Structure 1
Amino acid sequence: MKLLFVCTGNTCRSPMAQEIAKKVLAEKGIDAKVSSAGIYAFMGTSASENSLKVMEEIGLDLSNHMASLLDRKMLEENDIILTMTQGHKESIISSAPDFKDKIYTFGEYIGIGKDIIDPFGGSVDVYRSCRQQLEDYTYKLLEII
């Protein structure tokens, strides 16, 4: 299985989701390739400072992360594309409607329906809340895949 997480700039939510999912899936022995991208990413941008901090708190390292801009090849290569918000999902589907059957919001896919909060520019506590939401959603994801 190939799983792609998508947010806006690929510096906060989607790289955090990627690393959390890699860890949890590996712990459960689930063979999956996990990646992330942003619909408006600036290629090569590093993860945000607060993303680095809150991920380090749980033993995950984003220091080598470089933002990737979502492209058609990524949509083709991945089995499931999980966006952080309904707006991200709609944006991708409007430009690539042929992939609509494998694009979901993360919340929609796990049956919760809520968007992942955007911590960009927020305090460390806001990033922690986002990280916790991503962890909760990822454990729910395990029940499905």
Structure 2
Amino acid sequence: MRILFVCTGNTCRSPLAEGLLRIRVHKEGLAAEVRSAGVSAVTGGPISRNSALILKEAGFEEQMSSLSIQESEVKWADLILTMTVGHKRSVIQRFPDAVDKTFTLKEYVEDDPLILQAIEEREQLVTELQLKQALAQTISVEERSRIFKLENTIPDYDISDPFGGSMNIYRQTAEEIGNSLDKLIEKMRRQQGGSS
């Protein structure tokens, strides 16, 4: 499996996710390649000092540099995991063919059946309403109300941006990412036939 993590500048969150997942994948003996990129990144720039320090503390020794998301990375990836809903939207707008393999990290590892059902229902409703809009049909108050209720059922899937923050803020973000990566590893284990 080839996984691409995406954030804004590819200097804080997505490099953390890439490095921390590479460590876990290696430790678990899972088959996966991991990269990261940014929707507004400058290719070849350094990652943030705090992200690099956290990765080094975790045992990740490789040097990383930022990468601007390109079609080649999108085609390479089997799965694109973004740090926020905004990043997901940006990837899908730029690379519409990637819609079926692009998720926020937290959304992809969500395991609450009620939330998963609400997400599916919302996706269907959004598609229906977009079609109605395209056909210049009126969207009813009930439909607007239904989508609002669904939105309130679904948690916030954005991972906080530590950019410009203290080392403590970076550690909180790394922990937030790490919790989702633990769930991702579980999911990968199941997909790869329970190997550990």
Equivalent residues in 2 for 1:67-106 (5 A)?
A: 67-106=66-105
CA contact (8 A) 2:20 2:58 kept: no
Scaled by the length of structure 1, the TM-score of the pair is 0.94
CA contact (8 A) 1:52 1:61 kept: no
Paired residues in the alignment total 144
Runs of 4+ in 1 over 6 A off after TM superposition: none
Equivalent residues in 2 for 1:51-70 (5 A)?
A: 51-61=51-61, 64-70=63-69
Structure 2: gaps (5+ residues): 112-154, 189-196
- Aligned-partner Cα distance in 2 for 1:2–1:92: 17
Shift of 1:27: 0.9
The CA deviation string for residues 36-63 of structure 1, in whole angstroms up to 9 with x for no partner, is 000111111111111122222222235x
- Aligned-partner Cα distance in 2 for 1:104–1:67: 21
Equivalent residues in 2 for 1:30-41 (5 A)?
A: 30-41=30-41
CA contact (8 A) 2:23 2:59 kept: no
Bigger Cα Rg: 2
Shift of 1:33: 0.6
- Aligned-partner Cα distance in 2 for 1:48–1:81: 22
**Larger relative helix fraction:** 2
Scaled by the length of structure 2, the TM-score of the pair is 0.70
% identical aligned pairs: 40
Does structure 1 residue 48 correspond to structure 2 residue 91?
Answer: no
RMSD: 1.3
The CA deviation string for residues 17-50 of structure 1, in whole angstroms up to 9 with x for no partner, is 0010011011111011100000111111111111
